[in-house]
Amino acid sequence: MAKDEFREFKLVGTRPDRPDGLDKVTGRARYGADISAPGMLWGAVVRSPHAHARIVSIDPSKALALDGVKAVVTRADFPEGLTGEDWNLQENTIAGERALYDGHAVAAVAATSKLLAEEAARLIAVEYEVLPHVIDVDDAIKPDAPVIRAGAADASVPEGMPPNVVRYMDFGRGDVEAGFAEADLVMERSYKTEATHQGYIEPHACLGQLGADGKGEMWVCTQGQWYIRKMCTAVLGLDASQLRVTPSEIGGGFGGKTTIFMEPLSLALSRKAGGKPVKIVMSRSEVLRATGPTASASMDVKIGLKKDGTITAARAEFRMQGGAFPGAPVDMALYCCFAPYNLTNVAHVGYDVLANRPKCAAYRAPGSPMGAFAVESLLDEMCRALKIDPLQMRLKNAVKEGDKSSYGPRFGSIGLIETLEATQAHPNLSIKLGPNQGRGIAAGYWFNHNGETSVSLAISEDGTAQVSVGTPDIGGSRASIALMTAETLGIGYEDVRVNVVETGALGVNEPTHGSRATFASGKAAVIAAGHAIKEMCRRAATEWGIEPEAVEWVNGAAQPAGPNAGKHPPMTIAEIAGKMGQTGGPISGHHESVPEGVGASFGCHVVDVEVDPETGRTTILRYLVVQDAGRAIHPAYVEGQYQGGAAQGIGWALNEAYIYDDKGRLANPVFLDYRIPVASDLPMIDTVIVEVPNPGHPYGVRGVGETGITPPLPAIANAIEDAVGVRMAHLPMSPATVLAALKARG
């Protein structure tokens, strides 16, 4: 299908009501905790109160003595011999010899009511021998730090590195020292960011059932039902195809629901309780203590800049802890941190370090916000020192199509320059600021991702269409996929129903992650619709007695392609569909692939703040997000992604952080003290959708979900310096830290 076929759109780019809107404003939509089953039990999880402890014994006898308690599981109920990431997942699901962080699951119990299960969990006696722990990444990387797991380092780690370093990487090109020598100004700074949580409002919830025959079912809130299937069956030693996983509506994920936590426990409890379904719903405190925060980071950056704004060389060394397991996104942070800039001399070094914290999960552009905080902060400080306009500096160094990325490969079509130009043109930049007010700017980047994708489309008897996708709808992807499908088929938006289906209904799909749902499922749906169109053209051709190639599809109908094909009135999709039983049977299309043609997305944010010099409080006065969407299929939900990403970044910048006490226990596992932005913290968030179409997608889509969380961290730090002249190098920039910086400056 030629791209140019779609220059004029009927539906793409419009803002219809989302298909699941009615269910979601009436309370009918069913989320993870909203389903119950006949004979259902409730599960509860016993969690370690220690950051690091040997599990001496687990005595469930008092719990099992209660009437209505049906099963208790421990690690002994799980198979041995797993390796690699399967072992990590199993160990994180339920602790083996040692509890590795505060909140690590140690046992689980199923009972006939929620209250009874909670009471039984309190009665399971666990004896611990407390071991030394380590929390901070700079402490964890010391040679004499408590060892989280000997032998966890992979082949990338050279001999002689500290014991908690489990992955090491360095890469780059050119000669950074020569580059620094060419610069008019070379600066080197260190930065830190604390761990934050995705903070989805819906706690993890699942309803699992598993029989002694190894066949099971699960209802669960997840970004990816196939990931749940693959991971649960790996952890439990089952055949993947025997577990059927149905995704509920999902109350936010942001990457945090791309993995498993208590799901295998519900299956193990169910099997032990004779196959009765077991529902487990996490409390908020369990969510914060035991599910995917992001990594915390300690970063050194050195940059050389000429007076004309040219970056001559750049070097980044990042250390990140992602909990007690390998997987901190230090690689992604390094790849993204210099990505907006066309560099000749660049070097990156990264360490993935273990600490006694929960296993980090993906969080919106994993790694990119931390790296951007360091690099974009330093660039701003240097522009200030050389009196260079920070936007001009970025334009001067901005990457464009064909440039080599900082991490190696060349960029395809990208829209950074267009994004920076749109930023420059925005009226917010000419608003005058008052005392103690400041403006900050920063750029951000995310690759975007494709992933295994399987979509099936079927034409119904009345000429409407249903599309089955495997990517749960978190932020309006049903609407965008329906728009693209309807546009392709030439039918109405309301004539398409997009269903997010269970694992039994399609081939394997990766989750809704990597900003891929509208790109990948959308592209597959368009290709599937093309197959259905081809078939419908064939049916019309047969009816008319002409060659299929002589039929074209226009406005939802088959018609002869030119005068030589004969005079036949167009045959509409409804007419073709109505007769499909007599013309060869059902009409459908499907597509399976890892779709190529991912388009990266750059963004640029501008924030105006006011800082109270007496209390250190930062108020966001104005916020602007400019980002390349390729093409916005449903602009309202593109704006929603921009605004939501900015809000999460603002929270990360100002007030969100994992706070541990001296025993390594999470001190703030409630929304009262894990401070995500509330409605009164934020202004309206202005958006500009830049559209540099992605040639790798039939409608030009780039993923838009993730980039937006990246620039706020440095943009706000830059605005604070502009307002009150202090440079904040450690997130969060809470009132106490800003006030302390103001006092220290005197």
Partner 1 sequence: MVAVHLWSSLTRFTDGARVVEVEAATVAEALKQLVETHPGLGPILDGGISVVIDGEMVPNRHTAIEPGAEVYLMQRLKGG
Partner 2 sequence: MSKIHVTTVVNGDAVEFLADPRETLLDCLRDRLGLTGSKEGCGTGDCGACSVRLDGTLVCSCLVLGVEAEGKQIETIEGMADGATLHPLQRKFIEHAALQCGFCTPGILVAAKALLERNPDPTEEEVRFWLAGNLCRCTGYDKIIRAVLDAAAEMRQEAA
Partner 3 sequence: MRYHTPSTFRDAAQIAAGASGVTRFLAGGTDVLVQLRAGAVIPDDLIDLKKIAGVYDIARTGDGGWRIGIAVPGIALGAHEALRAEWPGVVEGMELVGSTQVQGRATLTGNLCNGSPAADSVPGLVAAGASVEVTGPDGQRTVAVQDIPSGPGKTSLKPGELISAILLPARGDHAGDAYLRFIPRSEMDIAVVGCAVSLRLDGDTVTEARVALGAVAPVVKLVPAAAQAIVGTALDDAALDKLAAAASAACAPIDDKRGTIAFRTEVAGVLAKRAAKIAYSRAKGDRA
For residue 621, report the phi and psi dihedrals to the nearest 5 degrees: -90, -40
CA 158, 160, 161, 166 torsion: positive or negative?
Answer: positive
In the chain the first and final C-alpha atoms are separated, in Å, by: 65
Residue from 122, 307, 400, 745 in contact with partner 3 (CB under 8 A): 122
Q: Which of residues 283-312 bind partner 2 (CB under 8 A)?
A: 283-284
**Torsion-angle region of 281 (φ positive above 0: left; ψ -120 to 50: alpha; else: beta):** beta
Question: Is 115 a residue that touches partner 2 (CB under 8 A)?
Answer: yes
Binding partner of residue 27 among partner 3, partner 2, partner 1, none, CB cut-off 5 to 8 Å per kind: partner 2
Give, in order, the Cα–Cα distances in Å from 185 to each of 11, 176, 313, 338. 51, 14, 11, 18
In the numeric block, which tokens belong to residue 367? 């790694």
CA-to-CA distance for 453 and 168, rounded, in angstroms? 31
- 503 DSSP assignment: G
Binding partner of residue 421 among partner 1, partner 2, partner 3, none, CB cut-off 5 to 8 Å per kind: none
User: Binders of partner 1: how many residues, by CB under 8 A?
Assistant: 49
SS3 state at 310: coil
To partner 3, the closest distance from the beta carbon of 657 in angstroms equals 9
SS3 state at 193: strand
Binding partner of residue 168 among partner 1, partner 3, partner 2, none, CB cut-off 5 to 8 Å per kind: partner 1
Q: Which of residues 344-363 bind partner 1 (CB under 8 A)?
A: 362-363
Residue from 283, 428, 460, 542 in contact with partner 3 (CB under 8 A): 283
Q: Which of residues 168-187 bind partner 1 (CB under 8 A)?
A: 168-172
Question: Is 608 a residue that touches partner 2 (CB under 8 A)?
Answer: no
Question: Is 735 a residue that touches partner 3 (CB under 8 A)?
Answer: yes
Binding partner of residue 654 among partner 2, partner 1, partner 3, none, CB cut-off 5 to 8 Å per kind: partner 3
Reported in sequence order, the residue ranges of 461-567 that DSSP labels E, i.e. its strands, are: 465-469, 496-500, 551-554, 557-560
Q: What is the largest CA-CA distance in the chain?
A: 89
Question: Is 82 a residue that touches partner 1 (CB under 8 A)?
Answer: no
Q: Tokens 């791209």, residue?
A: 3
- Nearest partner of 453 among 403, 514, 542, judged by Cα: 514
CA-to-CA distance for 395 and 414, rounded, in angstroms? 14
- 502 DSSP assignment: -
User: Binders of partner 3: how many residues, by CB under 8 A?
Assistant: 27
Q: Tokens 């209505």, residue?
A: 68
Q: Which of residues 556-615 bind partner 1 (CB under 8 A)?
A: 594, 596-598
To partner 2, the closest distance from the beta carbon of 622 in angstroms equals 12
Question: Is 198 a residue that touches partner 2 (CB under 8 A)?
Answer: yes
Binding partner of residue 646 among partner 1, partner 3, partner 2, none, CB cut-off 5 to 8 Å per kind: partner 2
Q: Angle between the 712-724 and 735-745 helix axes, to the nearest 10 degrees?
A: 40
Three-state SS across 417-483? HHHHHHHHCCHHHHCCCCCCEEEEEEEEEECCCCCCEEEEEEECCCCCEEEEECCCCCCCHHHHHHH
In the numeric block, which tokens belong to residue 409? 């490969």
Give, in order, the Cα–Cα distances in Å from 486 to each of 257, 477, 478, 494, 638. 30, 14, 12, 8, 19
Mask for 666-705, x = binds partner 2 (CB under 8 A):
----xxx---xxxxx-x-xx--------------------
To partner 1, the closest distance from the beta carbon of 448 in angstroms equals 7
CA-to-CA distance for 528 and 531, rounded, in angstroms? 5
To partner 2, the closest distance from the beta carbon of 385 in angstroms equals 33
For the beta sheet containing 453-459, the strands, ordered from the edge strand earlier in sequence to the opposite edge, are 496-500, 465-469, 453-459, 588-593
Nearest residue (CB) to partner 2, 250 versus 414: 250
Nearest residue (CB) to partner 2, 358 versus 644: 644
Nearest residue (CB) to partner 3, 25 versus 672: 672
Binding partner of residue 365 among partner 2, partner 1, partner 3, none, CB cut-off 5 to 8 Å per kind: partner 1
Residue from 43, 476, 514, 616 in contact with partner 2 (CB under 8 A): 476
Instruction: Give start and end residues of each alpha helix (H) in 225-305.
Output: 225-236, 263-272, 284-290
User: Binders of partner 2: how many residues, by CB under 8 A?
Assistant: 60
Which range binds partner 3 by CB under 8 A, 25-33, 305-313, 528-536, 670-678? 670-678
SS3 state at 746: coil
Do 375 and 656 touch, CB atoms closer than 8 A? no
CA 55 to chain centre: 34
Question: Is 20 a residue that touches partner 2 (CB under 8 A)?
Answer: yes
Reported in sequence order, the residue ranges of 94-157 that DSSP labels E, i.e. its strands, are: 98-99, 105-111, 125-130
Nearest residue (CB) to partner 2, 268 versus 609: 609
Which range binds partner 1 by CB under 8 A, 88-96, 407-415, 624-632, 682-690? 407-415
Which range binds partner 3 by CB under 8 A, 302-310, 417-425, 435-443, 651-659? 651-659
Sites of contact with partner 1 (CB under 8 A): 84, 154-156, 158, 168-172, 198, 254-256, 258, 331-332, 335, 362-366, 405, 407-412, 446-451, 510, 513-516, 594, 596-598, 696, 703, 705-706
> Which residues of this protein are in contact with partner 3, per CB under 8 A?
118, 122, 283, 285, 614-617, 654-655, 659, 667-668, 671-673, 675, 677-678, 680-681, 734-736, 739-740, 743
Judged by the rule CB under 8 A, the positions of this chain that interact with partner 2 are 15, 17-18, 20-31, 33-34, 36, 113-115, 198-203, 249-254, 281, 283-284, 474-476, 634, 636-637, 639-640, 643-644, 646-648, 670-672, 676-680, 682, 684-685
